Amino acid sequence: MPYVVERKPLTLSERLYFPQILAGMRVTLKHLFAPNVTMEYPEQRPAIPAGYRGVPTLVKDPHGREKCVSCQLCEFVCPPKAIRITPGEVPADQTDRAHVEKAPKEFDIDMLRCIYCGLCQEVCPEEAIFLQNQYSMTGYTRAEMVNDKARLYELGGTLPDQHFKWDKKKAAAGHGNAH
């Protein structure tokens, strides 16, 4: 047996639609004179919260030396396998890197695969990879979204070395040979 729902009859104002049109215009006028809450991106950018994990980049030490020693820990720990490293030899004529056995010949991060987890930064023993505050990476093709070694250094730049790790090793190596 069907259940019939009785509707109440429309009032005169509801049948004319005029009060509803005025109510809609009132909302429109209220928003017209209210302060603007829209952010004009990219001229205005939102504040970046502390601890934000943005684009992974490679950094150099204060002397402009490459910090990455191609240990490949970041490649192994990356969950989506976005990092690809091809190890290479360090030229023998670079005496300031005498304690380093290898350096990356190629270092690529596929930003379409990267999930910005930060594991690469946490696992890096040389503090060579950092997540920067940049959050708007765009490109027209998939190839443009793969950052190579040169682009990673361009984005990362130079960060102060907290431990002066290489300078201590170099000084210790030179000290050991003098005795």
Burial environment of residue 54 by CB neighbours within 10 A (0 to 12, 13 to 18, 19 or more)? middle
Output 69 or 136, whichever has higher pLDDT: 69
User: Average pLDDT in the 108-113 region?
Assistant: 95
Q: What is the pLDDT of residue 143?
A: 94
Q: Give the confidence band of 165 by pLDDT, cuts at 50, 70, 90.
A: low
pLDDT band at 76; cut points 50, 70, 90: very high
Domains, the chain, ranges and CATH? Answer: 56-170 (3.30.70.3270)
Longest dimension (CA), the chain: 106
- Residue that wins the pLDDT comparison between 93 and 111: 111
Mean pLDDT of the chain: 85
Q: Quick one: pLDDT at residue 64?
A: 83
CA-closest candidate to residue 83, choices 104, 59, 52, 101: 104
Q: Is 21 exposed, middle or buried (0-12, 13-18, 19+ CB in 10 A)?
A: exposed
pTM of the predicted model as reported, rounded to 2 decimal places: 0.68
- Specify whether the CB–CB gap between 131 and 53 falls below 8 A: yes
The amino acid at 82? A
Average pLDDT over residues 108-130: 93
Tokens of 23: 């109510």
**Do residues 114 and 82 touch, judged by C-beta distance below 8 A?**
yes
Taking only the tens place, the pLDDT of each residue in 15-46 is 888 888 999 999 999 988 888 888 888 888 88
